[in-house]
Structure 1
Amino acid sequence: MRPLKIGILNVMHDKEATNHRFSHVLQIAQIPVDLNYYYPKLHYQNRPVPKEVASLLQPLNLQQVKTFDAFIITGAPIEQIEFADITYIQEVRELLAILRANVPNLLFVCWGGMVAANYYYGINKATFNNGHKLFGVFPNQIVAPDPLLNGIADGFLAPHARYAELKHQEVAKISDLAVTAQTDNEQLFSMRSLNGQENYLFAHLEYDRYGLRDEYQREIAAHPERFYKLPLNDWNPQTDQTPFSWQETQQIYYRNWINLVAQNLNN
C-alpha cells in the first residue's frame, strides 16, 4: 500500500512542537504516511513570512489539497476572536469547502473544530463565562458510538485547553452530527458527522507529557502582567512532576483514525 497522503493546516503558535506532536501521533499505527504541513497564506499578506514558519510549513495549496486521503486543521489560540476578524478566515473557508467535496477523512482539532462546525452547519462558538479557560486534564464519558473511541474505556482522561466551545443547544439541532464524548461537566471532547467524513476533537489529545505545561509557560511569557491558572490535574511546578495520563488514549485514538483512513483508501 502506498503511504497515506495527509495534509495538516498548522495554525498553532508553537509550530515546530505542533509538527513534532502530529508527526508522532500519526505514526503510532505504523502505517506509512506522507505528511504535508501548511500555513494560511493570508496570515502573512501584509508582512514577510517568518523564516521559522517558511522552514517548517508550506503555503496552503488548495489544488494540492484535493488529492489528499485525509486532512487535519489544528487548534489555534484565537478562540476568543470572532471568526470574521481573523485575517485568514476566507482562506480557511475555501479550504473547508474543498475538503468536504474532495477529501474523505477530516479531523478538526479544538479551534479547527469550531471553525469547521461554524462553516458547515452555522454553529456558533461561545467563550466561557468571565474569560474562564477550560485548562487541565479531565475525565471524559463516551455518550455515543464512535469508531475512533473503540478500545477506550469510559472515564478516560484527556487534556483540554480552550477559552470557548460550541453551543450545545445548537449542536443538538444538527441531525447530521453526534456528540460522542464529553467531560463530566458536559464540555465537548468529540463529535462526528453521521457519514463518518468529519471528526471533531476538542481536546488536545496530540499533546505530549509537557503540552499543557508548555502552553501555560508560553502564555505567561507573552503576557506576564496577566494571571493564568495552572493546568488542573497535571503539571506541579513545585515538584516539576508531569503525569502523562492520556498516553494510552492518545495512542488508541490516533491509531483508530489512521486505520480508518487506510480502510477508506482500500474500499
Structure 2
Amino acid sequence: MPIKIPDDLPAARALEAEGVVVMRETDAVRQDIRPLRIGLLNLMPNKISTETQVARLLGSSPLQVELTLVRMTDHVARNTPAEHMDAFYRPWSDVREERFDGFIVTGAPVERLPFEAVRYWAELCRVFDWTRSNVHSCLTICWAAQAAVYHFYGIPKRTLPHKAFGVFRHRNHAPASPYLRGFSDEFCVPVSRWTEVRREDIPDGSGLSILADSPETGLCLLSDPDRRSLHMFNHLEYDTATLADEYIRDAGAAVPAHYFPDDDPSKPPRNSWRSHAHLLFGNWISEIYRTTPFDPARIGEAESLTPSRPPS
C-alpha cells in the first residue's frame, strides 16, 4: 500500500520519481480503510529534505500510512519557507487532542546547548509526556533521542572531544528484537553529532535495553518498552549525499570517516546503509500494525500493548 501525504508536498514528486507509491489525499478519501496515522515532529533545519527521507522509508511498507507533519507551536523555522510551513505543517497545539499510531521526533542542530536552554524545551517536554497518552509507539532520532532519555530518565548527554562524523559499523545485540528482524550481525549507520549518551549512565531498573552500538561511536539504538519508544541516536534515515552536504557546509571540517571511497572527498560516496534503514522503519511500522488498537480512541492505553485486531 502507498503512503498518503498532502497532494502538493515536494516530497511527493521526489518519491514518485523514485518509484515509491504515493497516494494523494484526493484518492485516499475514496478508500474505506483506516491507515496507520504517523506524525512527524520535524526539528531539522532542512525540513523538506527530512520530510522526503522519512516519507521514503515509511512508504516502503506494504501498509497504508498517513503522514502528518507537525511543528513546535511557537518556534519559527529559519531555513524553510514560511509558505511551506503554513501549507503543510500543523502546530503541535492543534494536534494534541488527536491520537497517532506512531510518532517520530527528529534531531535538531542544538545539541551543544543545555537542554533547558533550547527555546522550545518546555513544549518538547509536554510533547514527550503527551506521547504516553496519545501515541501508540514513538521513534526519536539523534538529539531528540538524547532529549527523550534525559527527560524521562535523567540520562545526561556528554560532549565529545571531536564530532562523531561518518559511517560506522554497528553491532546487533538483539537479533530477536522485532525491530532488528532481518538485520545483519553488523551493519553501517551514518553518524553526525557532537554529544553522546553513554552505556554507564543508563539507570539500573530503567527497562532500557541496548539493541545496537558501535565500538567507535557508542550507543545507537535503545528499546524503551515502558515508554513504548525506540531511541535512535544516529541517522539511518540519511540520504546518500547528506553527510557530503554537511561536509561542504562546514568548510574545513574533518572528512567524514568511512564514507567517501578511500576517504577522498572528490569521489562520490556510496550508500552502505540503505537496506538497513528500510528494515528498521519497516519493522517499526510492522510492530505498530501488529499491536495498535483497532479503535484509535484506545491508543495510549496500557492494554494496547498486546496484539489486537489490525487496521483494515
Taking structure 1 as the reference length, the TM-score comes to 0.89
| Cα deviation code 1:126-148 (max 9, x no counterpart) | 1102xx11111110002235321
Q: Tell me the equivalent position of 2:156.
A: 124
Q: Higher relative contact order by CA 8 Å / sep ≥ 6: 1 or 2? A: 1
- Residue 167 of structure 2 is aligned with which of 106, 112, 137? 137
Gaps of 5+ in 2: 1-32, 295-307
How far does residue 172 in structure 1 lie from its aligned partner after superposition?
Answer: 4.6
Q: 2:106 maps to which residue?
A: 74
Corresponding residue for residue 238 of structure 1: 266
Identify the residue that residue 224 of structure 1 maps to in structure 2.
none
For 1:148 and 1:9, the matched residues in 2 are separated by 21
CA distance in 1, matches of 2:227, 2:172: 17
What is the SS of the residue equivalent to 1:13?
A: coil
- Counterpart among 17, 21, 46 of residue 14 in structure 1: 46
SS of 1:69's equivalent in the other structure is strand
Three-state SS of the structure 1 residue aligned to 2:75 is helix
1:56 Cα deviation after fit: 4.2
Question: Within 1, Cα distance between the matches of 2:122 and 2:115?
Answer: 9
Kindly state the Cα deviation for residue 174 of structure 1 after the two structures are TM-superposed.
4.5
The higher radius of gyration belongs to: 2
Match of 1:253 in 2: 280
Note if contact 1:136-1:159 (Cα within 8 Å) is conserved in structure 2. yes
- The 10-residue stretch of structure 1 (87-96 or 159-168) with the greater mean CA deviation from structure 2: 159-168
User: 2:132, 2:227 within 8 Å by CA — same for their partners in 1?
Assistant: no
* Corresponding residue SS for 2:54: helix
CA RMSD of aligned residues (A): 2.0
Partner Cα distance (2:69, 2:183) in 1: 28
Q: Secondary structure at the match of 1:128?
A: strand
- Amino-acid identity (%): 30
1:229 aligns with 2:254: yes
Name the counterpart of 1:205: 236
1:162 to 193, 205, 208: 193
Partner of 1:61: 93
SS at match of 1:175: coil
Q: Can you give the 5+ residue segments of structure 1 that lack an aligned partner in the other structure?
A: 221-226
Q: Is the 8 A contact 1:8 1:71 kept in 2?
A: yes
Kept after mapping to 2: 8 A contact 1:121/1:174: no
Q: Is the 8 A contact 1:5 1:68 kept in 2?
A: yes
Give 3-state SS (helix, strand or coil) of 1:41's partner: coil
1:57-89 per-residue CA deviation (whole Å, 9 max, x = no partner) reads: 222236446411110100111111111110000
Does the CA contact (< 8 Å) of 1:15 and 1:56 recur in 2? Answer: no
TM-score by length of 2: 0.77
What is the deviation of 1:213? 1.2
Name the CA shift for 1:148/1:103 in 2 (closer, same or farther; >3 Å): same
How many residue pairs end up in the alignment? 255
What's the secondary structure of 2:146's corresponding residue?
helix
- Alpha-carbon separation, structure 1, partners of 2:250 and 2:101: 35
